[in-house]
Structure 1
Amino acid sequence: MRALTVEPGTSGTARVEDVPEPPAEAGAVLVAALALGICGTDREIAAGEYGWAPEGRDRLILGHESLGRVLDAPDDAPVAPGDLVAGVVRRPDPQPCECCAAGRFDLCRNGEYTERGIKAIDGYGSERWRVEPEYAVRLDPSLERVGVLIEPTSVVAKAWDELDAIYGRLCARPRTAVITGAGPIGLLAALLAVQRGLETHVLDVVSDGLKPELVDRLGATYHAEPLPKTGLRPDVVVECTGVGQVVFDAMACTAAPGVVCLTGVSPKGRSLEVDAGALNRALVLENDTVFGSVNAAHRHYRLAAEALQQADHTWLERLLTRRVPLEDAPSVLGASGDDIKVVIEF
């Protein structure tokens, strides 16, 4: 079978090649791949900046944003032949920390987790793949064209799950949300904000085109300017850019008490001048909360599947701005250009 592979740590090594069928020990559920989403993590691995091959191998099958159809599964599995399915990305440490032992491997404390297509386990970027029954997520058949969005949606589902828990301890419910960044994560974060009934604002740098249109179709408000210039004082900010100045603006501009969730990963090596004293004063005196969120556990995949099912599927499909066949996959591992989400189709 064919697969998209890469040699982690070495730029320019991504290629489509013939590989052996997935071994039975990889999971009792056999799946025929339908689609694979490409994100910044895949591009970093392809650029040699990140990633680990399985032990004893030089190459890794890439891909963690999966969608497929079950070919074979045990009778007691949560999925059956013909089902639409996605695979969970992370696996807990084999000698689990407290969080991994509790099923919250997204919060692994010792960093010894592994991840499909990223860290020490082959990904979902092959024509057929296997997954353990407990890591197979069944999707409604109506999501066949957009179900590949479940993994990025699980990331923001976790963020909103944590935001809900924090606000659940406060004396008021949030009314206004700001999402910084209108890439896939930002737009999906906005979707979940709208589904919660919040007045939602999305900030990005472009002033026209598909992104403002998608935000408008969602029933949210689009801004092509920095948060301080909008005059907004949101109850919640979901930061999806990782841009240093945007991160600090998010922490400085919330209402009291405000909650900021950081989902964007900032590059190293850039310095900013920040009035740390003023920022600390604002966070403390307003009882603000700032936290980071990455990856997702089983619960968040279920929440993501529910959110996608409730959404306008036509709107979701417009997020998938480019679909390419497997043989062209290496060509989309560079800069994304104007695309929102690129999908490899099998």
Structure 2
Amino acid sequence: MKAITVVPGDPSSVATAEVPDLPPDDRTLLVEGELLGICGTDADIVEDGYGSPPPGEERLLLGHESLGVVREAPRGSGFSPGDRVAGIVRRPDPVPCGPCGEGEWDFCLNGRYTERGIKELHGYGSQLWRLEPEFAVPVDPSLGDCGVLVEPASVLAKAWEQTERILARASLRPRTALITGAGPIGLFGAMMGVQRGLDVHVLDRNDTGPKPDLVRQLGATYHTGEVTELPLRPDVVIECTGHGPLVFGLSEILPPASVLCLTGIASGSKEVSVDADEVNKMLVLDNSVVFGTVNAARRHYEQAVRALAEADRTWLERLITRRVPMDGYAEALHKGPQDVKVVVDLRS
């Protein structure tokens, strides 16, 4: 079968090649890959050496945003041939730590977790892959190819879940949400904010391309420019860029009892002058919370499936702006001005 592999950190090594067929395994699902989403993490693996192949191997089979069709399923697994599934990315550490033992591997304490297509486990970028039933998420058939969006949406499902847990500390109810960044992660953050009945605003640096219209079609408001010039003080901020100066700029517009959730990480190192004492005073006196979130547990994938099924199908389809064959993976790592989500068609 064909698979997309790389030596992490060597862009010239990206290749679609024949790999050995999967051995029989009556404990796992045999899945025929359909689509594979590409995100910034994949570019970091290919170009910067982030991630690692399985121990003792040189190459990593890429891909963590998956969609496939079950071809074989163990009896009693809860799955049948023909079911569409997405594969969970992270696996608990072998010890396991407390959170991993409770199925919350997204809160792993010792860092010994593994991740499909990222850290010490081969990914989903192949024509066939095997998947443990407990790490397979059923995808609503009505989603069609938009089921490939489940994994990135799960990150925002977790972000909103954790944000709402913090908001529940008081009787205040949020009315306004700001999402910074209008990439796929930001758009899912906005979609889920609208689904919660909030007045949603999205800030991005681009004023052309498909993003402004995608935000407006949600019923949200699109902004460009400096965050400190926005005509609002949001109760909730979901930060999706990882841009350090922006993160600290947000502290200037937060009202009392607000929540700022950080989901993004940016490469490089940007210096910014910050009055640390003033930021500390603001957080204390205003009862504000800033927290980070990464990855997702199984329940967040399930939340993502429900949120996507509730969304407008036509809107979701507009997020997938480009499809490439397996041989086009290296080119697809670099988005064009009209791209939102680029996917690899494993069937072509």
Q: Which amino acid aligns with 1:148?
A: V
Q: Provide the C-alpha distance between the structure 1 equivalents of 2:251 and 2:338, rounded to a whole number of angstroms.
A: 28
**Matching residue of 1:68:** 68
CA 1:254–1:315 in 2, change beyond 3 Å: closer, same or farther? same
Deviations 1:282-305 (A, max 9, x none): 111100000001100001000000
Contact 1:86 1:136 in 2 (8 A): yes
**Matching residue of 1:37:** 37
Deviates more, 1:325-334 or 1:162-171: 325-334
**Matching residue of 1:187:** 187
The residue correspondences of 1:1-346 to structure 2 (distance < 5 A) are 1-24=1-24, 28-334=28-334, 337-346=337-346
Q: Provide the C-alpha distance between the structure 2 equivalents of 1:238 and 1:224, rounded to a whole number of angstroms.
A: 16
Q: Which amino acid aligns with 1:81?
A: P
Displacement of 1:35 in angstroms is 0.1
Structure 1: 4+ residue segments shifted above 4 A: 24-27
Q: What RMSD in Å do the two structures reach over aligned CA positions?
A: 1.3
Deviations 1:52-81 (A, max 9, x none): 111111001100000000000012113211
Displacement of 1:42 in angstroms is 0.4
Contact 2:53 2:121 in 1 (8 A): yes
Deviates more, 1:334-343 or 1:97-106: 334-343
CA 1:249–1:240 in 2, change beyond 3 Å: closer, same or farther? same
Displacement of 1:280 in angstroms is 1.2
Displacement of 1:268 in angstroms is 3.9
Displacement of 1:326 in angstroms is 1.3
Q: Which amino acid aligns with 2:297?
A: A
Displacement of 1:206 in angstroms is 1.2
Q: Provide the C-alpha distance between the structure 1 equivalents of 2:128 and 2:23, rounded to a whole number of angstroms.
A: 11
SS at match of 1:46: helix
TM-score (ref. length: structure 2): 0.97
Deviations 1:180-200 (A, max 9, x none): 000000000000000000000
SS at match of 2:85: strand
Displacement of 1:96 in angstroms is 0.8
Q: Provide the C-alpha distance between the structure 2 equivalents of 1:305 and 1:26, rounded to a whole number of angstroms.
A: 27
Displacement of 1:24 in angstroms is 4.2
Displacement of 1:26 in angstroms is 10
Q: Provide the C-alpha distance between the structure 2 equivalents of 1:26 and 1:194, rounded to a whole number of angstroms.
A: 43
CA 1:337–1:212 in 2, change beyond 3 Å: closer, same or farther? closer
Deviations 1:241-295 (A, max 9, x none): 0111111122331121010000011324321111212111111110000000110
Q: Which amino acid aligns with 1:333?
A: L
Q: Which runs of 5+ in 2 are unaligned?
A: none
Q: Provide the C-alpha distance between the structure 2 equivalents of 1:307 and 1:10, rounded to a whole number of angstroms.
A: 37
Q: Provide the C-alpha distance between the structure 2 equivalents of 1:33 and 1:208, rounded to a whole number of angstroms.
A: 34
Q: Provide the C-alpha distance between the structure 2 equivalents of 1:252 and 1:168, rounded to a whole number of angstroms.
A: 23
Deviations 1:75-122 (A, max 9, x none): 211321100100000000011111101110000010000000000000
CA 1:26–1:324 in 2, change beyond 3 Å: closer, same or farther? farther
Q: Which amino acid aligns with 2:264?
A: G
Q: Provide the C-alpha distance between the structure 2 equivalents of 1:123 and 1:193, rounded to a whole number of angstroms.
A: 31
> What is the aligned residue count?
346
Q: Which runs of 5+ in 1 are unaligned?
A: none
Contact 2:209 2:338 in 1 (8 A): no
